[in-house]
Amino acid sequence: MFSLVDGSLYAAELNLWIDASAGRERCYVSHGHSDHARRHALIVATPQSAAICRSRLGDGLAFETHAYHEPFELGPARLTLFPAGHVLGSSQLLIENERGRFVYTGDFKLGPALTCEPATVERCDVLLMECTFGRPRYVFPPREEICAALTAWARRTLEEGATPVVYAYSLGKAQEAMALLGGAGFKLMVHPAIERLARVYSEQGVELPPHLAFDAAGAAGHVVIFPPGGNARALAELRYTRTAMLTGWALDPGARYRSGVDAVFPLSDHADFPSLLRYLELAAPRKVLLNHGFKDFVHELRRRGIDAEFLEPHAQLSLF
Ligand SMILES: [Zn+2]
């Protein structure tokens, strides 16, 4: 059913591309991050992801939207989108036909999030799963612990008369940071790209705490949220800052140093190692295909008796 064409997954029977990296005729887009959302002639996505794509990719796009858990027919198969817990609107794709159930996770996270629907897991026969943090050392601390550490850092920074600058990807992580820090009582100033997406969140029913567009002259007393690498010149106008990065890679030795920030916090929108294993327990597939991650996760799974394979960019698939 599937083949990989130029590194992108294509279901010929359905005439459907999946998170294709180049513009295609008809493509399922799992979520609005730029490595997944490209301009296609027709984008199949959740209504929330469609709104995010519209905001990021501009006008002139055509969408076919499907709400979570509402199956629809496509060719000889039945498809269902269900939450991935990664960013607002992020979905996983279930394809059912007479041969069984196939799930494509896209980027996902298990557990709670403040600004998107928590992921659900479907039992399936064949699973194509991302494994970004597929090494045993990637065990994220409980969210409450990360949040407590981040808010304590921001409070300390303000008390010392500096402006805390938090780097977080403009889609997803930044809104999570806004909810978390605004919810803890901090005044927020955000980069314009983050503000634009926050507006989409609120149009889609996810209210975020009050916030202002970044303005260096009025930033004192606020927590500033910027995308990593987002307009360093604007930030240079702030006289005294402390910086922090929100990333799962915070668990890497030297992460703070490598990111060039004063602090790192392991707030991630991906599953950590135990969550990847937990997902497999719940989905109970007979075959696991892996993409977007460490190839050695394959060996971790095989050691556990799971039939797993890493999806090489030019592999031919006739599994399903
Ligand atoms: Zn993503």
Residues 232 and 279 in one domain: no
Residue 155's identity, in one-letter code, is R
Mean pLDDT per 10-residue segment, the chain (320 residues): 82 92 93 83 96 90 96 95 98 95 96 95 96 96 96 98 96 97 98 96 97 94 91 81 95 91 96 97 96 91 94 67
Ligand 1 centroid, distance to 177 Cα (angstroms): 16
Residues 261 and 283 in one domain: no
Ligand 1 centroid, distance to 49 Cα (angstroms): 12
pTM (two decimals): 0.94
Residues 193 and 238 in one domain: yes
Of 276, 281, 283, 305, the residue nearest 133 (C-alpha): 276
Predicted confidence at residue 318, as pLDDT, reads 62
Ligand 1 centroid, distance to 107 Cα (angstroms): 5
Residues 6 and 130 in one domain: yes
Write out the E strands in the chain.
Answer: 2-5, 8-11, 16-18, 26-28, 42-45, 62-65, 72-74, 77-83, 91-97, 100-104, 126-131, 163-167, 187-190, 212-213, 222-226, 241-246, 263-265, 287-293, 308-310
Tokens 């799974």 belong to residue:
301
Ligand 1 centroid, distance to 31 Cα (angstroms): 7
Report yes or no on 114 lying in a domain.
Answer: yes
Residues 70 and 188 in one domain: no
Residues 147 and 130 in one domain: no
Ligand 1 centroid, distance to 32 Cα (angstroms): 7
Check if the beta carbon of residue 138 is closer than 8 Å to that of residue 251. Answer: yes
Backbone φ and ψ of 112, nearest 5°: -80, 155
Ligand 1 centroid, distance to 221 Cα (angstroms): 31
Ligand 1 centroid, distance to 150 Cα (angstroms): 22
Residues 161 and 187 in one domain: yes
Predicted confidence at residue 114, as pLDDT, reads 94
- CATH of residue 286's domain is 3.60.15.10
Ligand 1 centroid, distance to 310 Cα (angstroms): 19
Q: How many domains does the chain have?
A: 2
- CATH of residue 224's domain is 3.40.50.10890
Ligand 1 centroid, distance to 33 Cα (angstroms): 5
- Of 248, 265, 282, the position where a domain reaches its end is 265
Ligand 1 centroid, distance to 228 Cα (angstroms): 15
Ligand 1 centroid, distance to 157 Cα (angstroms): 30
Report yes or no on 295 lying in a domain.
Answer: yes
Predicted confidence at residue 54, as pLDDT, reads 93
Ligand 1 centroid, distance to 13 Cα (angstroms): 27
Partner residues linked to 61 by β-bridges: none
Predicted confidence at residue 236, as pLDDT, reads 83
Residues 150 and 122 in one domain: no
Residues 194 and 282 in one domain: no
Predicted confidence at residue 69, as pLDDT, reads 98
Ligand 1 centroid, distance to 262 Cα (angstroms): 25
Ligand 1 centroid, distance to 227 Cα (angstroms): 14
Ligand 1 centroid, distance to 218 Cα (angstroms): 32
Predicted confidence at residue 38, as pLDDT, reads 79
Residues 131 and 204 in one domain: no
Residue 18 belongs to domain spanning: 2-137+270-310
Residues 74 and 153 in one domain: no
Residues 259 and 274 in one domain: no
Check if the beta carbon of residue 288 is closer than 8 Å to that of residue 300. Answer: no
Ligand 1 centroid, distance to 86 Cα (angstroms): 7
pLDDT, one tens digit per residue, over 53-99 is: 999 888 889 999 999 999 999 999 999 999 999 999 999 999 999 98
Ligand 1 centroid, distance to 274 Cα (angstroms): 19
Report yes or no on 316 lying in a domain.
Answer: no
Report yes or no on 320 lying in a domain.
Answer: no
Report yes or no on 317 lying in a domain.
Answer: no
